Chain A
């Protein structure tokens, strides 16, 4: 067992987002206010707005592996390979059994199941046309398992179903497994393939929560008075996490250090958020980090562009930071890329990590007319220079069934 006070650091980042396939591209898009949402056509529902990733799946997979695997598997494989390369780590006999893969997912299996049902519908629902890959595609460990098969990793792998709090949940799992000494390297984060099935869109539409705008890039507009709902996106972001002692031993580049985290449950409703529990989750993470609310410099909000969700997160933020001597900077990423579901937490935090080195904080996107109920001090409509003062970033990620996750990272200082 490792000592619980081991420090955990982020040493690699691999990602794919609708507006960038590397941290550098993604960061440039966020600083230059480049959003990327497009219209796609899905069976049954027709044209919808979606964030689509355009990474090269064949960079790390052959044609057969792409065909037989899942989209979330391909996203995970791309992100894991990029993250480990970024960390300067190669999977070898030295480390393959001590590497774990922990991937947060909002859901898994909808895409493949719907595809198969459509497939057999073309053959009068004769199940002899059902694909034999259906089971390996739809098992809940699929995305993480595809990574281990692709890279020859023999340590533990599994996925964490945590709705849209899943990205943070994946990272938290990786942190805990490192602290327990179960692994020496954790590839952890979240992915989503949800844009490839109509059901996610149709359900949001039935709920009155699916965004529409004549310009798709303006459809996702958290905190804006004229928001119309959520833009669903695919995406992925995996971090390489290590204990500081291991990272230092091999001279690794360190992006940031994990300061604290927390997860809790609303315990109240399937869909409607609960600002009291969200606030408690942030407070718990701040305590877990040994900090006070005044110490937090930046909050990346979860806000998705639904009226209730945006307003209630603002209410939670006021509960946590309203009494402190200074309110942190507040930004949001979904205006740029939509809601990347299981990937959202890790992806959005990744977009803010370069603030520790370039000292700029990216703004929110598509707030043309701020909802008065979302007025917060330091809500960023334009990028700001943070000087060298930015030390702590708090990342909110909340999901259906009332699951809340908060991750706090800090500028690394030895």
Chain B
């Protein structure tokens, strides 16, 4: 997957998890939780969806690396590039 495809995949997962609305307009450099109504339980859902849809395991120690959209993409790129 390209960076753009990874971004689309993440946005799709988050949109399904958000209480309402669409996250496609978020600032990719700012923390997702500062821009969106996401709580820690939602974050676990994002991790679960990555596991289910793409077989990717995100260890708890790496959760901070999923803070912004861009950091998500950078973290996931090596894990998703061959998908």
Give the secondary structure class of A's interface.
Answer: helix
Q: Does A62 contact B (CB under 8 A)?
A: yes
Residue A64 lies at the interface, judged by CB distance under 8 Å to chain B: yes
- Contact between A62 and B52, CB atoms less than 8 A apart: no
Collect the chain B residues with CB atoms within 8 Å of residue A123's CB. 52
B18 within 8 A of A: yes
Interface residues on A, range: 10 to 19
Given the contacts A132-B41, A132-B44, A133-B41, A63 and B20 also touching, CB distance less than 8 Å: yes
Q: Decide: A68 and B18 in contact? CB cutoff 8 A.
A: no
Confirm or deny: A125 has a beta carbon within 8 angstroms of a beta carbon on chain B. no
How distant is the Cα of A123 from the Cα of B17 in the complex, in angstroms?
A: 21
Chain B residues with Cβ below 8 Å from A63 are 18-20
Interfacial chain B residues near A129, Cβ < 8 Å: 48, 51-52
- Cα distance, A131 to B19, chains bound together (Å): 18
Does A389 lie at the interface of the complex (its beta carbon under 8 Å from any beta carbon of B)? Answer: no
Which of B19, B44, B51 has a CB less than 8 Å from the CB of A62? B19
Q: Which residue of B lies closest to A66 (CB)?
A: B19
Contacts of B17 in A (CB 8 A): 64, 67
Which residue of A has the minimal Cβ distance to B17? Answer: A64
Q: Which of B19, B20, B51 contacts A128 (CB 8 A)?
A: B51
Residues of B in contact, count (CB < 8 Å): 10
Determine the residue in chain B with the shortest Cβ distance to A131. B48
The reply to whether the CB of A65 lies closer than 8 angstroms to some CB of chain B is yes
Q: Is the CB of B20 within 8 A of A62?
A: yes
Interface string of A125-163 (1 = CB under 8 A from B): 000110111000000000000000000000000000000
B36-75 vs A, Cβ < 8 Å mask (1 yes, 0 no): 0000011010001001100000000000000000000000
Contacts of A131 in B (CB 8 A): 48
Residues of B within 8 A of A133 (CB): 41
Chain A residues contacting B20 (CB-CB under 8 Å) are 62-64
Q: Give the shortest distance, in Å, between B10 (CB) and chain A (any CB).
A: 17
Measured in the bound complex, the distance between the Cα atoms of B18 and A129 in whole Å is 20
Within 8 A of A (CB), among B1-49: 17-20, 41-42, 44, 48
B52 touches A68 (CB 8 A): no
Interface residues in A33-74 (C-beta closer than 8 Å to B): 62-65, 67-68
Q: How far is the CA of A63 from the CA of B18 in the complex (A)?
A: 7
Closest chain-B Cβ to A126's Cβ sits at a distance in Å of 9
Contacting residues, chain A, for B51 (C-beta < 8 A): 128-129
CB B20 to nearest CB in A, in angstroms, measures 5
A67–B16 Cα gap in the complex (Å)? Answer: 9
Closest to A68 in B: B41
Kindly state the separation between the CA atoms of A164 and B69 in the bound complex, as whole angstroms. Answer: 50
Measured in the bound complex, the distance between the Cα atoms of B38 and A242 in whole Å is: 38
In the complex, how many angstroms separate the beta carbon of A131 from the nearest chain B beta carbon?
7
CB distance from A139 to the nearest CB of B (A): 15
Let me know if B41 and A65 touch, CB within 8 A: no
Chain A residues, CB < 8 A from B52: 123, 129
A68 to B41, CA, bound (A): 10
CA distance A64 to B37 in the complex (A): 10
B48 pairs with A65, CB closer than 8 A: no
B19 cross-chain contacts in A, Cβ below 8 A = 62-65
Known: A123-B52, A128-B51, A129-B51. A64 touches B44 (CB 8 A): no
B41: A residues at CB distance < 8 A: 68, 132-133
- Interchain CA distance A34-B39 in the complex, whole Å: 45
Nearest Cβ on chain B to A394's Cβ, whole angstroms: 45
Would you call A64 and B48 a contact (CB within 8 A)? no
CA distance A254 to B20 in the complex (A): 38
- Residues of A185-237 contacting chain B, CB below 8 A: none
CB distance from B46 to the nearest CB of A (A): 12
CB distance from B21 to the nearest CB of A (A): 9
- A62 to B18 Cα, complex, angstroms: 9
CA distance A129 to B42 in the complex (A): 15
Q: Which residues of A contact B18 (CB under 8 A)?
A: 63-64
A191 to B: closest C-beta gap in Å: 23
Smallest beta-carbon distance B22→chain A, Å: 11
B41 shortest CB reach to chain A, Å:
7
Residue of B whose beta carbon sits closest to that of A61: B19
B48 CB contacts on chain A under 8 angstroms:
129, 131-132
Q: State the CA gap A129–B47 with chains docked (Å).
A: 10
Would you mind naming 16 contact pairs between A and B with Cβ atoms under 8 Å apart? A62-B19, A62-B20, A63-B18, A63-B19, A63-B20, A64-B17, A64-B18, A64-B19, A64-B20, A67-B17, A68-B41, A123-B52, A129-B48, A129-B51, A131-B48, A133-B41
Q: 8 closest pairs, A vs B, by CB?
A: A64-B19, A62-B19, A132-B44, A62-B20, A63-B19, A63-B20, A129-B52, A64-B18
